[in-house]
């Protein structure tokens, strides 16, 4: 049970933190269309997060609600990967982060829809439809920026080079993930690692970008050891519940 609970959070926290990052862009997107697109993606991710947290809260019992899980944990208890907490440095960076996550996310959902756990399977089935749109959006923009002007190409390339070091963590298996994969409920993410890099590389090539060869990777987020950005994200995210406990909209 505690493995399942932790497993759910491992998936859900990625969606929550990325949704929060994208939400920061509400009203600040580089154009009206991209602003709306990014915040719509944020909303989809938040919706998925809620479904996962409601399920996790039910498992936890003790009158816990989805809000407790979203707002009242300390930094070390969040299990999102480092990739999703990286800041919106510039539009190309936001797109790069989104693209590197979307390719992974869709592959994970496609596997998870076959989980014998009915709730996880239902969330994944619903999520696939949404995440496919996200991936279309982000990969289109990677190509547009990569194969755009000299400046957009350079910025897109720098973003990919910088974010590359966070990709390996997507395939790092935590204890909860290992245990759930063994039980046949969770997904062994290492099974689609090769497929992931292949697909990512194909899009990058089409975008006239160079696939980074850097073999230095960093990880920690999935085990609660986050980058310096995480504290600021949580300060924003938790502020209302911490200041006014149990407040409702």
- Least separation in angstroms between residue 213's CB and other proteins is 31
**What is the rounded CA–CA span in Å between residue 148 and residue 151?**
8
Residue keyed to tokens 């982060």: 97
For residues 101 to 140, the per-residue mask of contacts with other proteins, x marking binding by CB under 8 A and - elsewhere, is -----------------xx-xxx-xxx-xx--x--xx---
Q: Considering only the C-alpha atoms of the chain, give the largest distance between any 2 of them, rounded to a whole number of Å.
A: 56
Closest CA to 3 of 59, 84, 61, 62: 59
- Least separation in angstroms between residue 44's CB and other proteins is 5
- Least separation in angstroms between residue 90's CB and other proteins is 20
- Least separation in angstroms between residue 247's CB and other proteins is 16
Q: Is 48 in the site for other proteins (CB under 8 A)?
A: yes
CA distances to 4, 15, 78, 112, 114 from 118, rounded to whole Å, are 13, 20, 24, 10, 9
- Least separation in angstroms between residue 137's CB and other proteins is 6
Query: Which of 11, 18, 41, 84 is close enough to bind other proteins by CB under 8 A?
Result: 41
Q: Is 43 in the site for other proteins (CB under 8 A)?
A: yes
Closest CA to 186 of 119, 127, 135, 134: 119
Helix (H, G, I), strand (E, B) or coil at 27: coil
Closest CA to 186 of 100, 121, 127, 125: 121
Q: Is 37 in the site for other proteins (CB under 8 A)?
A: yes
Query: Which of 13, 44, 102, 117 is close enough to bind other proteins by CB under 8 A?
Result: 44
What is the binding site for other proteins (CB under 8 A)?
A: 33-34, 36-37, 40-48, 50-51, 118-119, 121-123, 125-127, 129-130, 133, 136-137
């Amino acid at each position: 049970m505690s493995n399942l609970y932790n497993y759910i959070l491992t998936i859900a926290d990625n969606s929550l933190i990325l949704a929060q990052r994208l939400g920061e862009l509400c009203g600040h997107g580089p154009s009206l269309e991209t602003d709306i697109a990014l915040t719509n993606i944020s909303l989809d991710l938040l919706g998925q997060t809620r479904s996962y947290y409601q399920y996790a809260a039910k498992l936890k019992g003790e009158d816990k609600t989805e809000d407790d899980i979203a707002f009242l944990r300390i930094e070390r208890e969040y299990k999102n990967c480092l990739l999703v907490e990286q800041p919106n440095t510039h539009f190309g960076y936001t797109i790069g982060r989104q693209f590197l996550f979307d390719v992974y996310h869709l592959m994970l959902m496609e596997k998870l829809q076959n989980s014998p756990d009915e709730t996880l399977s239902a969330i994944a089935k619903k999520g696939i439809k949404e995440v496919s749109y996200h991936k279309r959006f982000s990969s289109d923009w990677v190509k547009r920026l990569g194969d755009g002007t000299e400046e957009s190409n350079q910025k897109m390339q720098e973003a990919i080079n910088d974010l590359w070091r966070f990709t390996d963590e997507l395939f790092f298996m935590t204890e909860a993930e290992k245990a759930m994969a063994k039980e046949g409920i969770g997904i062994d993410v290492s099974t689609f690692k090769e497929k992931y890099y292949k697909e990512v590389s194909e899009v990058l090539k089409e975008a006239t970008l160079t696939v980074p060869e850097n073999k230095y990777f960093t990880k920690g987020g999935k085990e609660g050891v986050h980058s310096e950005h995480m504290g600021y994200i949580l300060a924003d995210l938790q502020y209302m519940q911490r200041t006014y406990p149990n407040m409702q909209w």
